[in-house]
Amino acid sequence: MPRFSDQTVFLTGASSGIGAALAREFAREGAALVLTARRLDRLEVLAAELQASGARALAAACDVTRDGDLEAAMAKAREAFGRIDVVVANAGFGVVGRFEKLSLEDFRRQFETNVFGVLRTVRAGLEDLKKSRGRLVLMGSVSGHLSAPEASPYSMSKFAVRALAEALYAELAPHGISVTLISPGFVATDIRHVDNQGLYRAEAKDPVPAWLQMPAEKAARQIVRATARRRREKIVTWHGKAFVLIGRLCPGLIPRLFRRLSRKVRRGR
């Protein structure tokens, strides 16, 4: 039997990357999908694709940085499907650059999406999850375990998401709600083509070699499996697992490695 038959999944950041791959994987597992993101045109194309395959899907424009958007999207989900069983807070992007070159506004913009956007998502869907004794999935990152040079805003935001997941894991357990933190390493998505303003740049060069990137479809299968099993955390990609393990066992090693790599990068510029 499909693992999410007769369940409704509410998904932010569904227009591309891991979000779109998750929508397809949840649909294969029998779920009805509520697809949200800022780019409604992309959502409608994805919803039509899922509907053509026999799935139930609803596209709803939603900006996680705007108060009220998530509540409106949740209301549409209830009207269409009657209940919400899984909430996936996936929307996010990365602000990068040397600390001295970044402004306070860069940090605010990063936190508004990656932290307050997650908080808005959780608050908007919490009562629904209490009723369904459902599943909450928070999209963290390996960068929520290890902070790399020239990525302080992104790492700070993902450390905050990990802290939230750890707190909610205990708080929501009495309501029958599981909390799963997803911590991906390098996955083949558009995130490294999005600039510090949150705008997509097709011409941007991806600094991560292709051989090191996991296909989004494979990552989605692992995430859906972890969600079904109500796992507390799932670290996605072999290199992500390796870095987190090394960071735990040898906490001084990763900072030294990052420092050396940072020096090499600066010399190569």
* Catalytic residue set: 154
How far apart are the two ends of the chain, measured CA to CA in Å?
54
Helix ranges, the chain (H): 17-28, 40-52, 69-81, 104-114, 116-132, 152-172, 216-228, 238-249, 253-268
Give the integer Cα–Cα distance in Å for 236 and 182.
Answer: 7
Phi-psi region of 195 (alpha: psi -120 to 50; beta: other; left: phi over 0): beta
- For 117-131, b/e burial (b = at least 16 CB within 10 A) is bbebbbebbbebbee
Give the H or E element holding residue 30: none
> Among candidates 182, 134, 190, which has minimal Cα distance to 17?
190
Q: Please name the amino acid found at residue 231.
A: R
> Among candidates 78, 84, 37, 75, which has minimal Cα distance to 59?
37
Give the integer Cα–Cα distance in Å for 173 and 175.
Answer: 5
> Among candidates 231, 229, 153, 217, which has minimal Cα distance to 24?
217
- Alpha carbon separation from 17 to 65, 99, 102, 219 (Å, rounded): 19, 27, 26, 10
